[in-house]
Amino acid sequence: MGRPTDYKSEYCEELIQHMAEGFSFESFAGKVRASKQTIYDWLDAHPEFLDAKKEAFEQSRLFWESVGINLTTGKLNGNPTTWIFNMKNRFKQEWRDKQEVEQSGTITKQIIYEPQSGNEPIKD
């Protein structure tokens, strides 16, 4: 039998508040003095914690988008490049640089092989 869990139901609200301040899900492990793997295990073992993570993620998005708005309107001083890098890594689905290349049609290549006799020079 394994060690008893240190999970507490109040972690749901604490996680939402934590991520609403811009912190990552993984950094919550440090806050509650657990390992990253432990909090990932809690997602499987406690459906309410999984729901809290989903809500917390959206609160984090709201925080970081607010930072971006304040950067672009001059209400906040900061480095826009750092903010963009953060967004591309934190919210990959929406912010990544993505190129989709679609090709259609047919490509035909004809190879002609002409054997050379030993005495003739090879033509370029």
* pLDDT value, residue 3: 58
Nearest to 95 by CA among 103, 104, 106, 84: 84
**Is the pTM of the predicted complex or chain greater than 0.85?**
no
pLDDT at 47: 97
**Would you call 30 exposed, middle or buried from its count of C-beta atoms within 10 A (0-12, 13-18, 19+)?**
middle
pLDDT profile of the chain (124 residues), mean per 10: 76 98 97 97 97 98 96 93 93 82 81 71 60
> Among all chains, which residue has been given the structure tokens 């919210």?
91
Residue 1's contacts (CB-CB under 8 Å, 6 or more residues apart) are: none
**Secondary structure (3-state) at 37:** helix
